[in-house]
Amino acid sequence: MIPTPDLSHLTAKDYDTVYEPAEDTFLLLDALEADEQQLKSLHPTISLEIGSGSGCVTSFIGKILGPSVLYLCTDINPHACRCTLSTGAQNDVALDAINGSFANPLSARLKHAVDIVLFNPPYVPTVPYEASAAQGARGIEGAWAGGLDGMSVTDVFLECVEELISDRGRFYLVAVAENNIPEIRERMRTRHGLQSEIVLSRRAGRERLSVLKFVRDPSMVRT
Ligand SMILES: C[S@@+](CC[C@H](N)C(=O)[O-])C[C@H]1O[C@@H](n2cnc3c(N)ncnc32)[C@H](O)[C@@H]1O
């Protein structure tokens, strides 16, 4: 069993501004642990986490895959980037945290180069204005406010993730039932040539959480 990263350096004050790891985070860790052998056999070179928050998830995958991988993280929240860096240091995982939206600061250089993409997005359904205001404010509300069907932030990323992943790449996404998981899977298959499976699902309070994994449809691997 891979231990949960040490977060003892983070304080209640940090969690006023940065998402505190919760059931969704831990479900993603469990999904990565379930895929441990598969991930190792990929021999990945680049891992990219969008919305790294505390840095718990990338520190965890860093423990699975070791120091030969380049670990990149982005977050719109500058406090989250600071916490991500300190969590990497606390857990001896060398990672880079970039303050920006999605993969925008990196996408030109990462085209079809990323072997592992991770995103636990703000997936909670809210009124649309709340999500766009939260994206602009770059604070704690941006951790959960997801707009219509909880999908307004995720949808933006779903349109560009195919451009990032390598031929052997995989993309792990956390979603809740309200996000309409069958529709997401069908859209990614037909529009972007990414097939998917549900790695894990779990009920947490009122939320029915799932981790989806997308890989390139073998018949559509670029030549
Ligand atoms: C549900 S939290 C997940 C945090 C962490 N990955 C975890 O699993 O505990 C969502 C994170 O996404 C970040 N975020 C929201 N919109 C973003 C965007 N457009 N680009 C990058 N990060 C974003 C938030 O600031 C927050 O840290």
52 class by beta-carbon count within 10 Å (0-12 exposed, 13-18 middle, 19+ buried): buried
pLDDT of residue 52 exceeding 90: yes
Give the helix, strand, coil percentages of the chain, each rounded to 5.
40, 25, 35
Indicate which atom in ligand 1 lies nearest the CA of residue 119. Answer: 6
Cα-to-centroid distance, 106 and ligand 1 (Å): 17
Domains and CATH numbers, the chain: 18-220 (3.40.50.150)
Indicate which atom in ligand 1 lies nearest the CA of residue 102. Answer: 20
223 class by beta-carbon count within 10 Å (0-12 exposed, 13-18 middle, 19+ buried): exposed
Indicate whether residue 150 lines ligand 1 (CB < 6 A). Answer: no
91-128: per-residue pLDDT in tens? 999 999 999 999 999 999 999 999 999 999 999 999 99
DSSP 8-state secondary structure symbol assigned to residue 20: P
Indicate which atom in ligand 1 lies nearest the CA of residue 22. Answer: 9
Q: 223 falls in which pLDDT band (50, 70, 90)?
A: low
